[in-house]
Every structure is written in C-alpha cells, then in structure tokens.
C-alpha cells in the first residue's frame, strides 16, 4: 500500500454527496467532491420549503457548506464532470472535465450521488404538458413558489391550483409501475405553500391514496387538509382542456362515483422520479449494476455498495427525500471510512 492519504471521489453535490463528503473529511481522509452545476446543493437548492417542518432548505445547505469550509481535506470541484474512469487494482484513475480543462486523479473509493430527474410528462397527451404553458411539473412550480415567496410580487389572478399525483408513477402503460415515494409529501407541501401565499385561492390535490410513511408525515398531510383547507379529491385526472385562458380538468370523484370538472389557473404535475442521465453514465463508467428502471442497485454485500469500492447514496438509488439522502450519504461515508481503515 502506498503511504499517501486515501482519497474518496464523491460524484454529485446534493444532500447525499455533501453529507458523505463532510463525514469522510471529518474522519480525516481526503475527498474530491465533483458537481456538474456551478453551485452545490443539488435539487434541494431549488426547493422553496421542506416537509414536514416547513424549513428553508437553503439554511441546511448553508450549514453544510460551512462544515465543508472547515475541512481542508475536502476539495470541491464545481462545473466539473467525470469523463472517464479506469480501475487500477485497488484504485481508480479518474478523468475530471472542468471548465478550464481536464485533469486526472487517483482515488481509492467512489460514492455516486447523482440524484434524480423528473419523468417527462409530455408523453401524456391528455395533460398537455409542454403544450399548455400553465401545466407545470413540480420542480418548475417549486421555482415559481420560490420566486413568489422571495420577491413578494405574486400573480393576482391565481385563483385555483390543481395538483395531479402519480404522473408517470404507478403507470404500467408508461413503464413506471413503481411509487415515486416523495410526491405525496411534496404535493401536500406545495399546496400548503399556495394557500399560505394566496389565502383566498382554492387548491385541489387529485389522489388515488396518499402515502405519508415517515416521522410526522401523516400529521403534515392532515394539517394541510385540516388547517390550510386544501381539498383532496380522490380520482386520477383524465384530461386537461384549455378554456378561455384557464384549464378545465376532467376527473371522477371516485368516492361518490360522480364525474367532476374543475377549472384551474395552474396544473402542477407530480412526475415520477427517474434516474438522472448522470446516474446512467456513471453506472456505465464504473461498470456497476442498475435495476430495471436504471436506478443503481446494491451488489447485496451492503445496501449502498454497487461494486468493488463503488458506493452510492441518495436518489440515484431510488426516489428519496432530502433527509433520507443525508442518511444514505452518511451511511455510504461509513462504508468508505471502514474500507480505508481496513486497508491501513
């Protein structure tokens, strides 16, 4: 074994990658944290608020960045992607492509934390995503919420917002029969935020059931219904029809068996969570297994191990909320630290 300090490469600077970088750095090993965006924070950075405690995600990111600042062993490289990787015995020779050119680094373990993407809802012709400007996906709407909260200049005509859950998810015909796990929670959160910003507006959440499995999650959804007066309508919307600048939604109230219609200003689609393009690329580069839908899979040795010296954390493994991503980041860090300790 060489005497140099062992280095971990962490790909992705979202909540999972940040947590892993901090923990490995605190254990005294050096870390190279690579992020393709110009700033750290991942998808969490784009969010307006969090469930179940309505906290500002930026505060969490700022705190994590402070922790990183105190760790000289962690080298952060933003605007950088991993171009190539070559296994050399117990280490990898990895080519990093930054804006100013590429360089090669020698690393002893890799944590992939490349996050998720949203399913492209334009394949649902009936919802008109990509055709009607006021049909948004949840991340686009989150961005709007962030703007409205920060700037205080809100659209005055926003009377009705409708949320569709399970867009892509739980849909065999679109190839994603799984439940994306976090949509129930963020749809409730977004609907609650709309009611906070526009108290006179009406919010409808179309659902088949709501899945709130987590600490304080059920109470969170109930509080949105009971205290913020968001109306949950049971049924999967069938069609969105543009009507005089607004959007007419057709569905069935499956509790009464009545066909229903409602006119909304904005329709928000809670799209299925799918693996990001980066996740697929990394899986190929490092020659690791992916499951049926492209999420990284465990090699059964440990839940976060995808291959020899390759680990993963966060939504590249499966849809997970930011808290879960942090858990996984810390767990993957523990794997790496244990591995480095063994080798020494």
Residues of this chain that bind another protein (CB under 8 A): 160, 204, 222, 225-226, 229, 231, 233-234, 250, 253, 255-263
CB of residue 140 to another protein, shortest distance in Å? 24
Q: Which is nearer to another protein, 38 or 257 (CB)?
A: 257
Q: List Cβ neighbours of 307 (8 Å cut-off, separation of 6 or more).
A: 286, 287, 288, 289, 299
3-state helix, strand, coil in the chain (%, to 5): 30, 30, 40
Instruction: List Cβ<8 Å contacts ≥24 apart for 172-176.
Output: 174/119, 174/123, 174/124, 174/272, 175/293, 176/119, 176/272, 176/274, 176/293
Nearest residue to 113 (alpha-carbon basis) of 338, 337, 334, 310:
310
CB of residue 149 to another protein, shortest distance in Å? 25
- Return the beta strands (E) in the chain as ranges: 7-11, 30-34, 74-77, 81-88, 91-98, 101-107, 109-112, 116-118, 135-137, 160-167, 202-207, 231-234, 239-243, 246-253, 258-264, 266-271, 273-275, 305-307, 310-312
CB of residue 263 to another protein, shortest distance in Å? 5
User: Residue 6 carries which DSSP code?
Assistant: P
Q: Which is nearer to another protein, 210 or 286 (CB)?
A: 210
Nearest residue to 178 (alpha-carbon basis) of 138, 121, 119:
119
Q: Which is nearer to another protein, 1 or 213 (CB)?
A: 213
The angle subtended at Cα 340 by Cα 334 and Cα 344, nearest 5°, is 140
CB of residue 135 to another protein, shortest distance in Å? 18
How many residues are given for the chain? 344
Q: Which is nearer to another protein, 231 or 289 (CB)?
A: 231
The label of the residue with tokens 């928000």 reads: 268
CB of residue 218 to another protein, shortest distance in Å? 10
CB of residue 241 to another protein, shortest distance in Å? 12
CB of residue 266 to another protein, shortest distance in Å? 15
CB of residue 73 to another protein, shortest distance in Å? 51
Cα separations in angstroms, 122 against 22, 136, 143, 208, 300: 39, 10, 19, 21, 36
Q: Which is nearer to another protein, 94 or 230 (CB)?
A: 230
Give strand pairing partners of 259. Answer: 252
Give the number of other Cβ atoms within 10 Å of residue 293's Cβ: 14
Give the number of other Cβ atoms within 10 Å of residue 38's Cβ: 9
CB of residue 52 to another protein, shortest distance in Å? 18
């Amino acid at each position: 074994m060489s005497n140099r300090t062992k280095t971990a490469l962490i790909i992705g600077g979202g909540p999972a990658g940040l947590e892993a970088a901090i923990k490995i750095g605190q254990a005294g090993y050096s870390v190279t944290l690579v992020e393709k965006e110009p700033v750290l924070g991942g998808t969490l950075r784009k969010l307006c608020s969090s469930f179940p405690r309505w906290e500002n995600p930026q505060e969490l990111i700022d705190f994590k960045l402070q922790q990183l600042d105190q760790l000289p062993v962690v080298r952060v490289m933003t605007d950088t992607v991993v171009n190539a990787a070559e296994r050399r015995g117990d280490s990898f020779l990895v080519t990093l492509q930054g804006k100013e050119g590429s360089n090669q680094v020698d690393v002893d373990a890799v944590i992939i934390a490349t996050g998720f993407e949203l399913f492209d809802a334009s394949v649902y012709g009936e919802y008109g995503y990509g055709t009607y400007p006021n049909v948004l996906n949840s991340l686009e709407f989150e961005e709007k919420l962030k703007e409205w909260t920060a700037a205080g200049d809100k659209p005055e005509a926003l009377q009705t917002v409708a949320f569709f859950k399970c867009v892509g998810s739980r849909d065999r015909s679109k190839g994603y029969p799984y439940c994306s796990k976090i949509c129930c929670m963020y749809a409730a959160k977004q609907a609650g935020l709309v009611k906070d910003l526009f108290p006179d507006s009406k919010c409808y959440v179309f659902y088949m059931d709501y899945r709130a499995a987590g600490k304080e999650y059920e109470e969170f959804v109930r509080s949105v219904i009971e205290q913020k007066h968001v109306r949950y309508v049971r049924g999967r919307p069938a069609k969105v029809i543009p009507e005089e600048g607004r959007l007419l939604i057709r569905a069935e109230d499956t509790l009464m068996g009545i066909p229903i219609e409602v006119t909304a200003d904005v329709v928000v689609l809670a799209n299925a969570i799918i693996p990001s393009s980066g996740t697929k690329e990394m899986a190929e580069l490092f020659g690791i297994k992916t499951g049926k839908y492209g999420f990284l899979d465990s090699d059964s040795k440990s839940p976060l191990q995808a291959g020899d010296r390759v680990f993963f954390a966060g939504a590249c493994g499966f849809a997970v909320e930011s808290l879960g991503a942090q858990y996984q980041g810390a767990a993957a860090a523990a794997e790496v630290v244990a591995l480095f300790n063994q080798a020494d």
